[in-house]
Amino acid sequence: MVVWTVDRDLRFTASSGGGLEHLGLRGDEVKGRTLAEYFGSDDPDFLPIAMHRRAAAGETVRFDFTWQDRHFEVHLEPLQARGENGGGGVAGVIGLAVDVTDRRRMEQALRESEERYRALFEQSKDAIYITSRDGRVLEMNPAGLELFGYDIEQMRSLDVHALYVDPVDRRRFQRAIEERGWVQDFETQLRTRGEELIDALLTTTVRSGPDGEVLGYQGIIRDVTDRKRFEEQLRRRALHDPLTELPNRLLFDDRIATAVARARRESRPMAVLFVDLDRFKVVNDGLGHAAGDRVLLEVGRRIRSALRREDTVARFGGDEFTVLLEELGSRQEAIDVVERLLEALDRPFRVAGQEFRLSASVGVAIGPVPDAGPGELVRRADVAMYRAKEQGGTAYHVFDPDTDLEQTRRFEREGELRRALEKDELTLFYQPIVSLPSGRIVGVEPLARWLHPGRGLVMPTEFIPLAEETGLIVPLGHRLLERACADLRAWDAAVERRLSLHVNLSSPQLDEPGLLPALADVLEEAEIDADRLHFEVTERLAMERPERIEGLKSLGVRVSVDDFGTGYSSLSYLKRLRADSLKIDRSFVHGLAQDPRDDAIVRTILTLGETLELTVIAEGVETEAQLERLRELGCELAQGFYFARPVPAAELLELWRRDPSW
């Protein structure tokens, strides 16, 4: 603040205060100078001079004035002359200037920032509000008013709590803000004036006074209704079959899990049904996919109609539907539903101008199963469905742990084997076959091995029978044959001498109509002469499928009777059979040179081979004594741990290169 006085002629008489030097107003500088001199202006209308003149005329004046880049609020008062009798007129003017530059700047900044916030507030797409402590709206931006459909006056007279749909949510929200002073992205539903529901995210903070007292709240409401709806749609799509709009497998599994838990708690039975249409494929292929879709829709509807309200039907995939029956009073109730369901599906369908019937097979699994997850019920219902199918249409079977559990395990193992095949976990080991006269390796037998990621090396006795029962042996055998031929070719390229390949062939492979052309392809592809390939078939197979054996032979490959002596061969069949060799089963070789009976059997087989002009291979040779005896008896080929165990291809090649002799 600067203070000064001037006399009636507007000449400085005194000055004091802070910052005088900046203004050139120090007493010794200005004393005696006129205002006109100080401001360097003769203009009588120049604001400070004009104002001083008015003050000198007896008026109190205030004005704002900017001088040397600073802003001042200036206050002028007339100074009364002190005469003897108290009067005496005006002697001069006292002036007082406050530098308000900084304050002005602050005010300006504040105004600007407020404008910015105002703009945010006005233009935000989210609702923004300020409330009092007791939840009255004080301010709400246009977006908020539009969202809720009130004008600001109505809004102000409203208790914001009335906007909440769920009072529990409201209390949770309030508790949170009281405890922490802020809440972020609190999800709830709010109600508009038009009673519409909005999914909203609330973010709120406390407005507090200088001493920390709560003045009220301010916050943002984001309308996420559309997003929610979209998410809901996505979720629906993920959990429902698009065609029938029934729950899909994912949702069904989830429902079962809940149902199992509940059934356990209430110790009540529940059931899972597996419904499979028996002739859907025929319809789908015959009438086209559009018609097939309509049939599936209708099937879904019919199943639904046979159920009780609390039951769930799901489309499990393809023409498979699953049903969850909850809150059953008894097992019989489940059977009643199944019977209604079969009846509903047995009625004729009319689609694409055609009338036809479909039958269904239903597997029933009653739960909960002790110590088993929800997946177990579906598995059991699936197994039971296969059982029902065996009865040939419009039938059901209730899973019975005593008789069907084995089946379940088989299904699992089958699935595992199928995956192994896909993931190429099956490989081959090779066991050499030795010519006894020369003592040299002349052939190999490829033996399947499963490189199981968890169990390590799995032996064929553990998976070949299953592969045979399920028919998986066909693709598996084909794959392995291709591999064996490829290996053989690689060895051909590495070593001059030639090996023969003795490949095991199972009954489903032999029955496969495509076997011969596929074999021809493989041989051609690998460029291997057919007569190097020996197919080993069991005695029984050789007997029962003579025409298939003939077929094989017509390709030029050799045929060998495996495990000879364990079947029910008769000499007459052997005569008819055009086999090239016999493999003496290792159980007979085992007792050679020890057990006179085994010795006699081996001798007989060798004589038989000689008569019928069949090469004889002894397998399972484990000791030198066995080898010596076989040599004595004139056996031509032998195989067994005594020579070598089955080994991976690379090791076989090493052995083959070394060309050991026994």
Residues of this chain that interact with ligand C2E (CB under 6 A) are 431, 447-448, 459-461, 464, 473, 477, 480, 504-506, 536, 562-563, 586, 619-622, 639-641, 646
- Complex with ligand C2E: residue 143 or 561, whichever CB lies closer: 561
Cβ contact 635:416 at 8 Å: no
Strand partners, 132: 216
278 touches Ca ion (CB under 5 A): no
Nearest distance from C-beta of residue 502 to ligand C2E, angstroms: 9
Residue 300, phi then psi, degrees to nearest 5:
-55, -45
Rounded distance between C-alpha atoms, residue 349 and residue 338, angstroms: 19
Cβ contact 584:564 at 8 Å: yes
Q: Which does 222 bind (CB under 5 to 8 A by kind): Ca ion, ligand C2E, none?
A: none
Which position's Cβ is nearest ligand C2E?
640
Closest CA to 12 of 110, 121, 93, 66: 93
Residue 261, phi then psi, degrees to nearest 5:
-60, -45
- Distance, first Cα to last Cα, the chain: 122
Task: Note the residue count of the chain.
Answer: 662
Cis peptide before 368 (omega within 30 of 0): yes
Q: Which does 459 bind (CB under 5 to 8 A by kind): ligand C2E, Ca ion, none?
A: ligand C2E
- Complex with ligand C2E: residue 140 or 434, whichever CB lies closer: 434
Q: Which does 646 bind (CB under 5 to 8 A by kind): Ca ion, ligand C2E, none?
A: ligand C2E
Nearest distance from C-beta of residue 643 to Ca ion, angstroms: 15
16: Cα separation from own chain's centroid:
82
Nearest distance from C-beta of residue 406 to ligand C2E, angstroms: 21
CB environment 209-243: b (16+ within 10 A), e (fewer): eeeeeeebbbbbbbbbbeebeeeeeeeeeeebbee
Nearest distance from C-beta of residue 584 to Ca ion, angstroms: 9
- Complex with ligand C2E: residue 266 or 469, whichever CB lies closer: 469
612: Cα separation from own chain's centroid:
64
- Complex with ligand C2E: residue 403 or 461, whichever CB lies closer: 461
Q: Which does 395 bind (CB under 5 to 8 A by kind): Ca ion, ligand C2E, none?
A: none
Q: What character string, x for contact with Ca ion (CB under 5 A) and - otherwise, covers 519-558?
A: -----------------x----------------------
Nearest distance from C-beta of residue 541 to Ca ion, angstroms: 12
CB environment 436-460: b (16+ within 10 A), e (fewer): beeeebebbbbbbbbeeeeeeebeb
Q: Which does 441 bind (CB under 5 to 8 A by kind): Ca ion, ligand C2E, none?
A: none
Nearest distance from C-beta of residue 444 to ligand C2E, angstroms: 12
Residue 640, phi then psi, degrees to nearest 5:
160, 170
Helix (H) or strand (E) holding 411: helix 401-422
- Complex with Ca ion: residue 504 or 581, whichever CB lies closer: 504
Q: What character string, x for contact with Ca ion (CB under 5 A) and - otherwise, covers 211-230?
A: --------------------
Strand partners, 448: 428
Cβ contact 182:205 at 8 Å: yes
Nearest distance from C-beta of residue 547 to Ca ion, angstroms: 22
Rounded distance between C-alpha atoms, residue 212 and residue 181, angstroms: 11
- Complex with ligand C2E: residue 477 or 609, whichever CB lies closer: 477
Residue 652, phi then psi, degrees to nearest 5:
-60, -40
Q: Which does 431 bind (CB under 5 to 8 A by kind): Ca ion, ligand C2E, none?
A: ligand C2E
Tokens of 511: 């029955």
Nearest distance from C-beta of residue 267 to ligand C2E, angstroms: 48
Q: State which of residues 562, 582, 592, 646 lies at the interface with Ca ion (CB under 5 A).
A: 562
Nearest distance from C-beta of residue 623 to ligand C2E, angstroms: 9
- Complex with Ca ion: residue 311 or 445, whichever CB lies closer: 445
- Complex with ligand C2E: residue 306 or 618, whichever CB lies closer: 618
Q: State which of residues 276, 563, 598, 636 lies at the interface with Ca ion (CB under 5 A).
A: 563
CA distances from 181 to 135, 201, 434, 543 (A): 15, 17, 88, 89
- Complex with Ca ion: residue 221 or 552, whichever CB lies closer: 552
Q: Is 82 exposed, middle or buried (0-12, 13-18, 19+ CB in 10 A)?
A: exposed
Taking every pair of Cα atoms in the chain, the longest distance, rounded to a whole number of angstroms, is 170
- Complex with ligand C2E: residue 404 or 536, whichever CB lies closer: 536
- Complex with ligand C2E: residue 200 or 480, whichever CB lies closer: 480
Q: State which of residues 141, 431, 504, 538 lies at the interface with Ca ion (CB under 5 A).
A: 504
Binding part of the chain for Ca ion, among 128-136, 150-158, 282-290, 502-510 by CB under 5 A, reads: 502-510
- What is the DSSP secondary structure assignment for residue 164, as one 8-state letter? B
Q: Which amino acid is at 620?
A: G
Q: Which does 480 bind (CB under 5 to 8 A by kind): ligand C2E, Ca ion, none?
A: ligand C2E
- What is the DSSP secondary structure assignment for residue 161, as one 8-state letter? G
Three-state secondary structure along 288-351? CHHHHHHHHHHHHHHHHHHCCCCCEEEEEECCEEEEEECCCCCHHHHHHHHHHHHHHHHCCEEE
Q: Which amino acid is at 221?
A: I
Nearest distance from C-beta of residue 410 to Ca ion, angstroms: 24
- Complex with ligand C2E: residue 216 or 620, whichever CB lies closer: 620
- Positions touching Ca ion (CB under 5 A) are 504, 536, 562-563
